[in-house]
Structure 1
Amino acid sequence: MRRMFALVVVLWSIGFARDQFDAYVDATELPVLVHATSPEIRDRNGVLLRAYMIDDGLWRMALSSDQVDPLFYKMLIAYEDKRFYQHQGVDLVATARAFGQAVWNGRVVSGASTLTMQVARLLEDGSTGRWDGKLRQMRLALALERHLSKEDILSLYLRIAPYGGNVEGLRAASLAWLGKEPRRLTPAEAALLVALPQAPESRRPDRHHRAAKIARDRVLMRMQRAGVIDMEAALAGQDDPAPIGREPVPQLAPHLADRALARGGGRHDLTLNADLQRSLEALVAGHMDGRDERLSMAIVLADHQTGEILASVGSPQYADTAGQGFVDMTRAIRSPGSTLKPLVYGLAFDRGLAHPETLILDTPVQFGSYAPQNFDGVFRGELPVRKALQLSLNIPVIRLTDALGPAHLMATLARAGVQADVQGGAPGLALSLGGVGVTLHDMVQLYAGMAHGGEAVALKWYKGQETYEPQRIMSAASAWQISNVLAGLTPPPTAGPAGRVAYKTGTSYGHRDAWALGWDGQFVAGVWIGRPDGTPVPGAFGGSDAAPVLFQALERARIKPVPLPPPPPETLLVSRAQLPANLQRFGPREKAPELQLTFPPDGARLAIDGAGVPVKLSGGVPPFSLLVDGALRATDLQRAEFMAPVSGVGFTTLSVIDAMGNAGRVSIELR
């Protein structure tokens, strides 16, 4: 009976002690288990484009178990805590062994800290050497095991383990020291990431390369003995060079990334393609290398079938101050130069005002006080609309703008989603020559609509971004005609075998902006070059500066050339002679001003100097032909001022005939 009573007392005491111990563990106050992680900007496939440090200057990045190579988990458990899945936070076997070795040797020989205890220490930033600290870690480890799963504890460790400097967590460490995500690791890479948290500062590869390699190799050999890897893998891993410095965290698409970050922290998924974005950033940087540091450049490239922006480069160098690289030039208001002309012609086709084969006059004209001039100052007389657009002549497009009305053009821009900025009141005829402020983003959106059969396309850069209901900006037939005309332009000399591209260049007044925009069967792109402060760039032209980059950008976007689509069934594909009478020529036939030779005056006496005789004309329709004493001396003269090749002395008759057969003549004496 006494033995039975004693047994009951002992069992009750053990149970009481256990209840007390459970209450002690349950009363443990848990630290904060949720930690801020670096905001991340990802591409359409989940690839990291850019990340930002958290407020305390740390790189600590979100990580899920499927983002980690299984080999790393095997190594970590085998090296740090092989009974991790058996113990409840404290490994009593390892603790007893460590205690016995310490008593026998008079010093600490091996540790008994479990992964859960390490998490407890990291959560409280506690000491590793003092007994009171160890006891606190044990208590917290036991409490953590009661509240969290083993996977949750591992996840905590992989998120907050120190890896040297301001790097915390496995994913940030893999990016910083290896330059890659931890999803696929070699044995040597996994071993390094296992070894670093034990002594993160004394094993930092950038400062203590040798120590990092020794620690890594030690892990490799232990993994071989534990059967995690074979001897061949261990020896091969030891031959791998350990990293000697930090790899830069991806910093792609900084301007769009900043816009995404403005929406808040966490993860943001964009429509960009990381590989294409990297390629176009390199293209821009390479193109601008060695040029005026005040110049900037921007590119937007999108899929005009979906409206998704695949690459957006706001400047050559984000951190460049001389060129104001921090300014996103895809969103800056600039003059589009001649790049609005295709829209004018497309609307004219829709209105029945013209057809690509319609003849239109390129002759001097005046609308009130406004007398437009061509860029080169030359008048070409009567020519097909197709040629007028390909030559980017100003006078024909102004004639069409006058017939359409600038308000109609502005309304169409609004339907295309273009926020046009008009200074000084109502838009005028110069609108079609670039007399309006637009962004590169909006111009690419406009061109996407023309590429998409005349139906407006809302460009989007953020996944899940809401878009407006598409509106038609021109008929499918007119859009195809514009595409066909622009695809007939000769590509830049540096263009590769890119297939047919419909493209248009433009240069704004004073050479402030050089543009090139174009599309193929799938992609649309726009390139802008200029100075962010709007000052002139002498010698800058869209054709020579921006167009080559446009073709290279489209080339890099393709796996293979994507052909332009065939014409819609309703497209009118006929010669000029087969057109309806009202479409054979644009507008009523205008009576050209009378051709006159204003210099030299009739009867003038001039001293000959061997350079010829200067001739000045007024009126008439170019091109002009010159006769000297009845003999034809020059044809296809486009300008109203030229030198007549006359060298002999005596009386001479100069005659000029214009394209309409009108003639003017003067008689002069040369001495």
Structure 2
Amino acid sequence: MRANMATLRKWIYGFLFFCGALLIANVAFPPPLEKAYNTSTLIVDKNGQWLNAYTVENGRWRIKAELDGIDENFIAQLIAIEDKRFYRHSGVDPIAVVRAIRSWKHHGRAVSGASTLTMQLVRKLEPRPRTLRSKAIETIRAVQIEMRLSKREILELYLTHTPYGANIEGIVAASRIYFDKTPNQLTHAQIAQLISLPQAPEARRPDRHPENAEKTRNKILAKLHKTGFITSLQLREAKEEKISTRKYTLPNDAWLTGRKLKNIATPLYPKITSSLDTRIQTMLARLGRDYTQSDQFNVAAIIIDNETMKVRGHLGSAGRNKPGGWIDMTSRPRSPGSTLKPFIYAFAFDDGLSAPGSFVLDAPTRFGSYQPENFNRRYYGQVRIFEALGHSLNVPAVIALDKVGTDRFESALNLTGAKVSKPNSVNSDAGLALALGGAGMTVEDIAILYAALANGGQARPLVWLENETPHSSYKLMSEESARKITTILRQAPTPNGRVPHWLTQNSHAIAYKTGTSYGFRDAWAAGYTDKWTIIVWVGRPDGAPRVGKTGRQAAAPLLFDIFANLPGVGSDQHYQKIQSAPRGLKVFGGTAINQPEILFPPNGAEIAVSEFGKAGRGLSFAARSPTADPLQWYVDGKPISRQETSRKTIWYPKGNGFYKVSVVAKNGSATHSFIRVIAFDRNNSYEN
């Protein structure tokens, strides 16, 4: 009796030891499930419509399968054909194993397979030679997976990794590429074809071997009919359906947006639901392509829903074939031109320095070493703020920024999430050039700022994901100042051929501003309504100039075309007369330069000449006049006359020495330069 008890204890201990060893091995050598979740990143729009997808290793399409998006008939028929006891076994089907052994003994070769769906998944995750040892490992791995995952999860992984020929893996990619359908839209014939394909993916590819594909499909259809999944009529109709040899391409829309967002994806959540709207995105891409057909330049644009700050349309480039077509120009800093002027005046309104009806002097004005000029180099004297902004006059904007303060203005813009890229070497005086585009900003930065105008002065970051939590806002300006700026910009002169919104019904009341960078390198148009904010950039990514192409000519027409294709017109807006400024704000400021400025020769210059007198080439004087009246030049008090033919003032020095060069304006103001003239000989030596 004692001997029997001792033997029993040994068996129990041995069994427990064996089970413990199995558990330890199971933990120490887990199945490689991390590979199972390596799938293609998928970018969809706010409604779930595909925009873009990205391959995994070796350029394979492997898109995550979800049972909720797959036809229930496909699932049931797949299990009936491949693994009918799938829901009853634990990774290994003993009945199928016994049947396979018997058939092997009877026929001398493998006739009936015993691999379950779980074992097939193992084979895909860990490819091995088809040997008995490999089969044993697959069996163990299948049990391990069944211990860790539910049947639903296993089925989804199987349908994600199943090979369908070429670089196609998974039911989702196969349905899209072979049939241009989702897995819940398949016909009986297509279901049968996709069930038969994984058994010999390359030999049964419909695009290369349509006869084999049809033959094996019909065999599967016959089995499905025999098991009662389809009727005789459905069988006949399915067999009559032709095999399609076409392969469809997966969507490749908003590819630069996808490149921006794809790094957000994780192995467990490879699908990214962007904030884009496919209808708006398609419209924007079409307009961008049409707009750039006849010239070698590129465009970038962004469309924002003001209420949510969600990006509904994003065009980083008009096409890969355009200059710099692979670059997302919405995220590259460029000179914003005059697009920041509305915010400068809004700050002046907030500070109580001016009002839309305040007068400001538009005349040549110097700020330390910096002297801005109007774009057309014409000046209009005393103008009101709304006129200066509506006609984008440069000098009044710099006057306003000088009063607001460059550091404060730049800091406020940065606090919104928009980044002002400015060289560290810029001093406070040169920083006034920020009013005219003397810094770098992106299309996305400008969108944040103009959406703040539409939202009553509240600035928020852009939202790129549909389910993203809204960001907190930053008060860039008061609601009253935003309203005043909006009124001015709504009544700005419209582009040629465009009717002002207050003269039409059911049209977008667009408040907009254009901008042109130095040298015609960047053309901008930024506009907004109550519903939308749109920013358009036009130019060449390499910075090459496009002479004569201003924001008003090159970018504003596209801005208005985009608005014309958007919904949400809103209520009609009437023309509003802007009131005069209150008594204390009648005059904003500005001090004109009342004396001429010598451009050449500069004060203190030392000038070498090869020959004196009329035999030499002479020195051509140049100066800037505070008025449009001509200037009179003098050298040591003696007048120098203009030449009759060239209308230039040229002086021929008679010898070495120091000279006083003076220029006198009509109002009597004068400026002087003291220079030295020396002889320059052929041997590169100076004569004193």
TM-score > 0.5, shorter chain as reference? yes
Taking structure 1 as reference, are residues 264 and 133 closer, same or farther at Cα in structure 2, changes over 3 Å only? Answer: closer
Aligned-pair CA distance for 1:509: 0.9
Amino acid at match of 2:490: A
- Maintained 8 Å contact 1:520/1:564: no
Cα displacement string for residues 162-186 of structure 1 (whole angstroms, at most 9, x for unaligned residues): 1112222223323433444434434
Residue 473 of structure 1: aligned partner: 476
Contact 1:38 1:51 in 2 (8 A): no
User: 2:419 corresponds to which residue?
Assistant: 419
Equivalent residue, structure 2, for 1:310: 312
Is 1:544 paired with 2:545? no
Residues 186 and 527 of structure 1: CA distance in aligned 2, closer, same or farther (over 3 Å): farther
How much has 1:415 moved relative to structure 2? 3.4
CA RMSD of aligned residues (A): 4.3
Distance in 2 (alpha carbons) for counterparts of 1:542 and 1:619 = 29
Deviation at 1:515, TM superposition (A): 0.8
Name 1:447's counterpart in structure 2: 450
Counterpart among 452, 455, 459 of residue 456 in structure 1: 459
> Of residues 532, 548, 567 in structure 2, which corresponds to 1:523?
532
- 1:336: how far off? 0.6
Query: Which letter does structure 2 place at the counterpart of 1:508?
Result: S
Q: Please give the secondary structure, in 2, of the residue aligned with 1:376.
A: coil
2:584 matched to 1:582? yes
State the distance in 1 between where 2:174 and 2:101 align.
Answer: 33
Letter in 2 for 1:297: V
Match of 1:280 in 2: 284
| Deviation digits for residues 92-126 of structure 1 (CA, Å, limit 9, x no counterpart) | 66667777778888887665554344345445435
Amino acid in the other structure paired with 1:340: L
CA contact (8 A) 1:381 1:621 kept: no
Q: Which residue pairs with 2:70 in the alignment?
A: 68
Give yes or no for contact 1:333–1:437 (8 Å, CA) kept in 2. Answer: yes
Q: Which runs of 5+ in 1 are unaligned?
A: 1-11, 568-572, 595-616, 623-661, 663-671
Deviations 1:245-284 (CA, angstroms, capped at 9, x unpaired): 4433444444444444456743364642251344433433
Unaligned runs of 5+ in 2: 1-7, 597-623, 630-666, 668-688
User: Quick one: structure 1 residues 155 and 461, their matched pair in 2 at CA, closer, same or farther if it must change by over 3 Å?
Assistant: closer
Q: Residue 540 and residue 196 in structure 1: after superposition, are their counterparts in 2 closer, same or farther (change >3 A)? A: farther
CA distance in 2, matches of 1:433, 1:144: 64
Aligned-residue identity in percent: 35
Q: In structure 2, how many angstroms separate the alpha carbons of the residues matched to 1:405 and 1:124? A: 65
1:151 aligns to 2:166 (yes or no)? no
Asked if the contact 2:509/2:573 (under 8 Å) is kept, the reply is no
Contact in 1 for aligned 2:334/2:441 (Cα 8 Å): yes
Q: 1:225 to 1:432 in 2, by over 3 A?
A: same
Alpha-carbon separation, structure 1, partners of 2:387 and 2:237: 67
Matching of residues 148-547 of structure 1 within 5 Å: 149-231=150-232, 233-238=234-239, 242-262=243-263, 265-266=266-267, 267=270, 269=272, 271-275=274-278, 276-292=280-296, 295-317=297-319, 323-368=323-368, 370-423=370-423, 424-426=426-428, 427-462=430-465, 469-489=472-492, 491-492=494-495, 493=497, 498-547=507-556
* CA pair 153-338 structure 1, distance change in 2 beyond 3 A: closer
Q: 1:38 to 1:491 in 2, by over 3 A?
A: farther
Partner of 1:626: none
CA contact (8 A) 1:271 1:460 kept: no
- CA distance in structure 2 between the aligned counterparts of 1:38 and 1:180, rounded to whole angstroms: 19
Check conservation: 2:510, 2:529, Cα contact below 8 A.
yes
Residues 458, 468 of structure 1: 8 Å contact kept? yes
| Residue number in structure 2 paired with 1:3 | none
The change in CA–CA distance for 1:196 and 1:435 in structure 2 (over 3 A counts) is same
CA distance in 1, matches of 2:229, 2:247: 28
Distance 1:330 1:511 in 2: 18
Contact 1:25 1:142 in 2 (8 A): no
| Residue in structure 2 matching 1:84, options 69, 86, 108 | 86
Change (3 A) 1:290 1:343: same
Q: Are the equivalent residues in 1 in contact too, given 2:526–2:559 (CA < 8 A)?
A: yes
| Distance apart, 1:442 and its partner CA | 0.9
Could you tell me whether the CA contact under 8 Å between 2:317 and 2:327 is conserved in 1? yes
Q: Deviations over 1:138-179 (max 9, x none)?
A: 676567656654334423321221111222222332343344
SS in 1 for 2:207: coil
- What is the CA deviation profile of residues 433-466 of structure 1, one whole-angstrom value per residue up to 9, with x for unaligned ones? 1112212111111111111101222223357878
**Which one is further off, 137-146 or 227-236?**
137-146
Q: Distance in 1 between matches of 2:87 and 2:467?
A: 41
Superposition deviation, residue 432 in structure 1:
1.2
The AA in structure 2 aligned to 1:80 is: E
Contact 1:271 1:463 in 2 (8 A): yes
Whole-Å Cα distance in 1 between the matches of residues 240 and 436 of structure 2? 65
Instruction: Assess, with a 3 A threshold, how the Cα gap between structure 1 residues 241 and 272 changes in structure 2: closer, same or farther.
Output: farther
| Distance in 1 of aligned mates of 2:243 and 2:277 | 27
Evaluate the alpha carbon distance shift between residue 148 and residue 518 of structure 1 in structure 2; reply closer, same or farther with a 3 A threshold: closer
Deviations 1:604-652 (A, max 9, x none): xxxxxxxxxxxxx976699xxxxxxxxxxxxxxxxxxxxxxxxxxxxxx
1:87 deviates by 5.1
TM-score (norm 2): 0.71
